A and B are shown apart, each in its own frame.
Chain A
Amino acid sequence: MASILIVIATLPFAVAVATYLLPVALSKVITVASGVTVFGLSVALVPTVVRTQVAAGSLLRSDALSLVFLVAVGFLYGATAIFAAGYLHLEPGPAGNRYGRRFYAGLNLFCWAMVVTPLVNGLALLWVAIEITTVISALLVALDDTEGSTEAAWKYVLLASLGLGIALLATIIMYYAGTTVFGSAYNLSYAKLLVGARHFPPDVVRLAYVLAVLGFGTKMGLVPVHTWLPDAHSEAPTPVSALLSGSLLAVSFYAILRYFQIAERTLGPTFPRDILLVFGIASLLLAALYLLSQRDLKRLLAYSSVEHMGILAIGTSFGAPVAMTGVLLHVLAHAAAKGTAFFGAGSVVRKFGTKDMTRLRGGIGALPWSGPMLIAAILALSALPPFGIFRSEFLIVSGGLSNSRDAAAAVFVVLVTVAFFGLSWFTTQTMLTPDARSGPDSEGSTVVVEKGEPSISIVVSMVVGLVALTILGVHIPSQLSQLLDHAASELASPRR
């Protein structure tokens, strides 16, 4: 099992180096192979990790909590690789070739950093891994070299770096909290911290926890430190947007959960949960309102990400085991749903050449496959059955009610409904309204295109996403369900 961990943690890096050297056509193939392999290997770990944790040396290890996030990242890595193979259209000549090499090297490196994040053992390495994701994804956002993408990359790099500066402060302060128990030089491994957490000075841990939620929350897109997110998601190349939204935000949440585990042991459950509840409600509220007024398809999906990160924070704050299981299922389902939705958006952008929803009409006529699947993905994001997000949000709400967080659960349901309205109104308008040829259009400003899919691999990637979503919604495989329960019990607050 240790060898599987090592392969997962090194393969994408090797592939990144290879894709920088090889021709782009070959890169497409080996990136898909690498993504599918990483996903397959992480699923292969599930039966073992359900029983015991797996470690490779002192640096890598995986418990159930890590593995949930690893599976989410691995899935999106594979699906995005398939999508990118069809999405990428390079101009012939050296410029297009250079772009393709940079794109693939960056994409693989980015996935490598996100795969490693849940596997490293310790808060210091965790921070380093998330730092690497920032560094690489900022360069990927800037890849298109347009005015919009540089502006987005600048905001992203500045805000995310400031957030990580705060998170580093949190790491340092948590390290200091540990020195009171372990002496001045020790490693910040999770097992050690969780054992010692009971005896840490509470004030210091409280400060470290708040700084960690604020710092990593910047990367996760929690309001009010989410402002980089819509810009970066809308201006990045679409495969990168899918990865940012589906897995980068999730692994940042993973970092917060690690601090949450320690803070619960030192401070008891109330304080850590309340902090997350405040950030979660703020995120959900603001995102739901912004969803009602979006005109840009990719920004719409970006605000939906803010909404779902708010849901994760609120679900964690409920604290009941069933809510925790819901949160972890939500991580998986959101990765699949948001990935699929961005793939669909990518198909629309390729087809129509715009993401301005006021100019998009008749999507479903022009895109016979990806059009309906985009609508399905949007409905999945709005938590309609039979998809996974319905199940996860259901678990979260029932967890909130069972832990007598009735008011918060009610607010949650109302805001999710508002978000549903915003999401579905604009997409259905875009996709289902017939195009300009058959309807009266005052300025003739909508884009008219011929019927047909831009690429078969876009369709394949969306089918993969929807199948996964349906499996998560209808019948979760028993091993996976055990994994989720196990991870939820690792998160649940210990008896003091």
Chain B
Amino acid sequence: MTGAPSTYAGVADVVAVLVLLTEFAMLRAPLLRSQVRLYAFQSFVVTVLAVVVAATHHIPELYVLAAFSLALKVILVPGLVLRLLRDADTDLAGSSALGVASMILIAIAVSAFGFFTVGSLQVHSNALPTSALAIAAAVVLVAFVLIILRSDVVSQAIGFFSLENGVSVASLVVASGLPLVVDVAFLFDLLVAVVVFGVIMRVHHGRGKTLSTEELDRLRG
């Protein structure tokens, strides 16, 4: 259970922070296309982290996971969403319930909450520094902020996808021995979300509507 070398821990922390910063960038990205590209970048960072953990701790299964994650999250899912957006040619600027500054402030408060509560749990991992787990919790919470405050279908989807990235980081930190089937199953969930997303885009496109969730209010009560 001896810790990894401190440079390694430092690098891992930097990577985790990078994931969190990308999440913030998504929150403020005005264009939906750039949001998708940020997501692809974030997934790439998570993939790199998986490869690093696999190499330094000799867990060969993680290479398989990294390969899946590269194929699905970096290439396939962003590619599909970008294509759907191109076909939809509705207004591509996202909308939000609050101004950018207030959104970022809320996200900072929420991520600080996640960071300190989970950080105080005294979790010890031999794969990655535990601060990375706290950062992963912050990523998950900011993803929720993104889903709640941005009111368009694309942001919601991307918020969910990036939440999955946060969970991936957490699983790399504390549960790198977790059966691989779990992580792969979650990746397939992303694909189904994309399929339903595609259906909804098509149905709405047929009626010349926007991507705003304001349209999705027929069912209530």
Q: Which residues of B contact A157 (CB under 8 A)?
A: 192-193, 196
Tell me how far the C-beta of A68 lies from the nearest C-beta in chain B, rounded to whole angstroms.
Answer: 25
Chain B, interface size category, equals 35 or more
When chains A and B are docked, how far (Å) is the Cα of A147 from the Cα of B216? 9
Q: A128-B181, A139-B195, A176-B175 are in contact. Are A204 and B123 (CB under 8 A)?
A: yes
Residue of A nearest to B176 (CB): A184
Q: For A135, what are the chain B residues with a Cβ–Cβ distance below 8 Å?
A: 188-189, 192
Contact for A131 among B118, B123, B189, CB less than 8 A: B189
| Cβ contact of B140, chosen from A169, A187, A290, A294, cutoff 8 A | A169
The reply on B42 being an interface residue by CB < 8 A is no
Known: A145-B203, A150-B199, A172-B171. A138 touches B192 (CB 8 A): yes
Given contact pairs A168-B182, A169-B140, A175-B174, A234 touches B125 in the complex (Cβ within 8 A): no
Per-residue contact bits, chain B 170-212, to A (CB 8 Å; 1 contact, 0 not): 1100111111011001101100110111011001000100000
Tell me which of B140, B164, B192, B207 has the highest count of chain A C-beta atoms within 10 A of its own C-beta: B192
Compute how far the CA of A151 lies from the CA of B179 in the bound complex, rounded to whole angstroms. 34
Q: Closest B-chain residue to A171, C-beta based? A: B182
In this assembly, does B147 line the interface, its C-beta being within 8 Å of a C-beta of chain A? yes
Q: Is the CB of B216 within 8 A of A154?
A: yes
Interface status of A127 (Cβ within 8 A of chain B): yes
Q: Are A234 and B177 in contact (CB under 8 A)?
A: no
Given A124-B181, A135-B192, A168-B167, the answer on whether A154 and B200 have CB atoms closer than 8 Å is yes
Q: How far is the CA of A200 from the CA of B123 in the complex (A)?
A: 12
Whether the Cβ atoms of A165 and B182 lie closer than 8 Å is: no
CB of B113, distance to nearest CB on chain A (Å)? 14
User: Is the pair B160, A162 in contact by a Cβ cutoff of 8 Å?
Assistant: yes
Q: List residues of chain A with CB within 8 A of the CB of B196.
A: 138-139, 142, 150, 153-154, 157
Contact A148 B219 (CB under 8 A): yes
Chain A, Cβ-Cβ closest to B194: A157
Are B189 and A134 closer than 8 Å at their CB atoms? yes
By DSSP majority rule, is chain A's interface helix, strand, loop, or mixed?
helix
Q: Does B102 interact with chain A (Cβ within 8 Å)? A: no
Contact: B192 with A127, CB < 8 Å?
Answer: no
B219 touches A235 (CB 8 A): yes
Measured between alpha carbons, how far is A135 from B182 in the docked complex, in Å?
A: 14
Q: Could you say which of A168, A176, A203 contacts B125, with CB atoms under 8 Å apart?
A: A176
- Provide the bound-state CA to CA distance between A254 and B125, in Å: 30
Selected contact of A186 from candidates B177, B182, B188, CB within 8 Å? B177
Asked if B126 lies at the interface with its beta carbon under 8 angstroms from chain A, I say: yes
User: B69 within 8 Å of A by Cβ?
Assistant: no
Picked from B147, B157, B182, B207, the residue with its CB within 8 Å of the CB of A128 is: B182
**Are B221 and A294 closer than 8 Å at their CB atoms?**
yes
The CA-CA distance from A294 to B220 in the complex, in Å, is 10
Q: Tell which of B157, B189, B218 has the most Cβ of chain A within 10 Å.
A: B189
The docked-state distance in angstroms from the alpha carbon of A184 to that of B160 is 29
| CB of B50 closer than 8 Å to a CB of A | no
**Interface check A371, CB cutoff 8 A:** no
Supposing A138-B192, A154-B153, A162-B147 touch, asked if A132 and B218 sit within 8 A by C-beta, the answer is no
Residue in A171, A184, A188, A204 whose CB lies within 8 Å of B126: A184
With a CB–CB cut-off of 8 A, which chain A residues contact B185? Answer: 127-128, 131-132
Asked if B156 CB lies within 8 Å of chain A CBs, one says: yes
**Least Cβ–Cβ distance between A94 and chain B, in angstroms:** 19
Return chain A residues, CB-CB under 8 Å to B126: 184
A207 adjacent to chain B (CB < 8 Å): yes
Give chain B nearest CB distance to A417 CB in angstroms. Answer: 22
Q: In the complex, A316→B196 CA distance in Å?
A: 35
Q: In the assembled complex, which residues on chain B have CB atoms less than 8 Å from the CB atom of A307? A: none
Give the complex CA separation of A3 and B101 in angstroms: 61
Query: In whole Å, how far is A166's beta carbon from the nearest beta carbon of chain B?
Result: 8
**Centre residue among B167, B176, B185, B188 by max chain A CB count within 10 A:** B185
Chain B neighbourhood of A359, CB < 8 A? none
Q: Does B163 contact A (CB under 8 A)?
A: yes
Task: Report B-chain residues with C-beta under 8 Å of the C-beta of A127.
Answer: 182, 185
Q: How far is the CB of B168 from chain A (nearest CB, A)?
A: 9
CB within 8 Å of B: which of A168-189?
A: 168-169, 171-173, 175-176, 179, 184-188
Residue A97 interfacial (CB < 8 Å): no
Given A162-B160, A162-B163: A172 in contact with B189 (beta carbons within 8 A) = no
- A188–B180 CA distance with the chains assembled, in angstroms: 12
Q: Report the bound CA distance from A203 to B207 in whole Å.
A: 51
Return A196 CB to nearest CB of chain B, in Å.
15
A240 to chain B, nearest CB (A): 15
Contact present for B156 and A158 (CB under 8 Å):
yes
Question: Whose C-beta in chain A lies nearest to the C-beta of B163?
Answer: A165
Minimum CB–CB distance from B5 to chain A (whole Å) comes to 18
Interface positions, chain A 105-159, Cβ under 8 Å from B, are 124-125, 127-128, 131-132, 134-135, 138-139, 142, 145, 147-148, 150-155, 157-158
Interface members, chain A 287-302 (any B CB < 8 Å):
290, 293-296, 299
Which residue from B123, B178, B203, B221 sits with its C-beta under 8 Å from A299? Answer: B221
Nearest B residue to A151, CB-CB: B216
Q: With an 8 A cutoff between CB atoms, is B56 at the interface?
A: no
B7 CB–A CB distance under 8 Å: no
Interface: B105 (CB within 8 A) = no
Nearest CB in chain B: distance from A190 CB, A: 15
In the complex with contacts A131-B185, A161-B193, A204-B121, A175-B203 CB distance below 8 A: no
Which residues in B have their C-beta under 8 angstroms from that of A175? Answer: 174-175, 177-178
Are B181 and A165 touching (Cβ within 8 A)?
Answer: no
Contact partner, A169, options B156, B170, B219, Cβ 8 Å: B170
Give Cα A485–Cα B163 distance, bound, in whole angstroms. Answer: 41
Beyond known contacts A131-B188, A151-B200, A184-B176: 7 more, CB 8 A cutoff: A145-B199, A147-B203, A151-B219, A152-B219, A154-B196, A171-B182, A175-B177
A sample of 8 cross-chain residue pairs with beta-carbon separation below 8 angstroms, ordered by A number, consists of A150-B199, A155-B216, A162-B147, A165-B167, A185-B177, A201-B122, A207-B121, A299-B221
